[in-house]
Structure 1
Amino acid sequence: MQFIAGFADNDGVRIHYLDSNNLADPDIAPLIICPGLSETAEEYIDLLEFLLPRRCIVLSFRGRGNSDTPERGYDLDEHRRDIEAVIRTLGLQQFHLFGHSRGASYALGCAAARNEQHMRSLLLGDYPPEHRQMPSGWADEYIHDYLIPYQRTSNIRTEAVWGIARESRLVALDSPSPLPALILRGTLEGSLINDLDMQRYRNKFRHLKVEEFHRSGHDLMGTEREGCYEAIRDFLNARDSVNAV
């Protein structure tokens, strides 16, 4: 399938996105997808296809994929403004927002900054309700133990990794929210959501659905992709039914 490719401008930084609008039903609320730390828009093409006829837009954050790689600007605010740039460029008025892994913190930051205006729901994949500061030595280890061996330096440039390591600061993102939310969580070792994080999510969202994946740690999109996609589709369809009443 051929999706629309475009760029949004975030203060001079071009943010690449893919959009299934050319194949979608305009009467269904769209979904914006925020990939994980080293993921690109292209890695979510199969989710765009799976969710048709719902319109989906997926972006590559700064320093990833076909987006620009600025020298600076890699903390939470700059990443959530990447999302805002896509929303603004496409003129989106009502939408759901999905963030996976590190993308969940960017999605939560975007929701908090815009006071959840125009948002129908939040979907969050295996990440706690916070934006994390990276530990000392993380960048070098991430590059040499993961990106280079697995040939992912074209997905995220090393300049972006060092920028994230240098600029990221811890921000709690667990303030109460009226939005309906879906949490996708692995239950095996390696999951980034522990029991305390789940309690923080329960305190944050009055309307919360949790889907646990018992054959997965953090990489639930890899080990149980079909189940994740089905959980996302079913949650979105249920929310649309509520809004239609």
Structure 2
Amino acid sequence: MGYITAHDGTNLYVEDVGSGEPIVFLHGWPANNNMFEYQKNALVEAGYRYIGIDFRGYGKSDAPATGYDYETMASDVHMVVYGLGLKDFTLVGFSMGGAIAVRYAADYKEDGLKKLVLAGAAAPIFTQRADYPYGMTTDEVDALIDDTRADRPKMLEGFGEIFFEKEHSKPMQNWFHHLALVASSHGTIASAQALRDEDLRDALPKIDVETLIIHGVHDKICPFAFAEQMEQGISNARIERFEESGHGTVLDEREKFNDTLLQFVQ
């Protein structure tokens, strides 16, 4: 555990636990790497090395005023990979982290990426376009941003209500809510603006590693159509349907998620 410095001097917190083949995790909006607690435990017990990055503005990382676009965040991932000397690693990107994983896989082909997992990824586009009828409208994301500015804890509570398909214990819900509360408010807003505005359709054909797409059939945040669009755009990709999950596959079907991941990285 420690910090890696990004190109602009931002200190990025990295949790590095275990040994063996490295699996790098990129968290969703607006949590931090601790959302993968139950994946970390399973991987370490199976003999893998868990590496979880807190994006800038989240968790224990610095929270600069700028740098929340996908290109910069992918560069941050590159600096962690370079700083730790990783080769032949699997990258797991969840939700916003999945979008950044797509950008990274397309732009940093020489880093040694072996396999890619996109779990409930906010890609190729998070918001609707004239030629892309999937996801939230820009007005809906703008309302989410306005709610963040007005009452961030309440916004997070509402966001949490549509995150999972299954009902989880109140302590578990409180724990997950806390992960988002510790994020910076300006990073939360700037990342939502990136989710609203960025388009990764050009990046999908550039990905040439084996890719597993994990997606909940009942996802209310990143509709299942996202998975189908990614499968069409990435040459070596396949979808694993999570029939009992919403957006939060990591908890809705925790055992299936862990088993599917372990089978894929072997």
> Would the TM-score normalized by the shorter structure come out above 0.5?
yes
The whole-number CA distance in structure 1 between the counterparts of 2:219 and 2:16 is 35
- Provide, for residues 32-72 of structure 1, a one-character-per-residue CA deviation record: whole Å limited to 9, x for no partner: 11011122123323322211211121110011110000011
Structure 2 portions without partners, runs of 5+: 128-137, 159-176
What does residue 146 of structure 1 align with?
155
The whole-number CA distance in structure 2 between the counterparts of 1:163 and 1:128 is 15
Cα shift at 1:123: 0.2
Is the 8 Å Cα contact of residues 180 and 205 (structure 1) preserved in structure 2? no
What does residue 113 of structure 1 align with?
107
What does residue 186 of structure 2 align with?
159
Is the 8 Å Cα contact of residues 18 and 59 (structure 1) preserved in structure 2? yes
Which segment drifts farther, 52-61 or 170-179? Answer: 170-179
Is the 8 Å Cα contact of residues 174 and 200 (structure 1) preserved in structure 2? no
1:180 aligns with 2:241: no
Is the 8 Å Cα contact of residues 24 and 91 (structure 2) preserved in structure 1? yes
Structure with the higher helix share, 1 or 2:
2
Is the 8 Å Cα contact of residues 65 and 154 (structure 1) preserved in structure 2? no
What does residue 240 of structure 1 align with?
none
Is the 8 Å Cα contact of residues 73 and 167 (structure 1) preserved in structure 2? no
Structure 1 portions without partners, runs of 5+: 238-245
**3-state SS in 2 of match to 1:130:** coil
1:6 to 2, 5, 8: 2
2:142 to 115, 121, 136: 136
1:103 to 89, 97, 117: 97
TM, length-normalised to structure 1: 0.83
1:40 aligns with 2:40: no
Give % identity. Answer: 22
Is the 8 Å Cα contact of residues 185 and 191 (structure 1) preserved in structure 2? no
Structure 1 residues 136, 7: CA separation in 2 closer, same or farther (over 3 Å shift)? same
**3-state SS in 1 of match to 2:246:** coil
The whole-number CA distance in structure 2 between the counterparts of 1:200 and 1:166 is 22
Higher relative contact order (CA 8 A, sep 6+): 2
TM, length-normalised to structure 2: 0.77
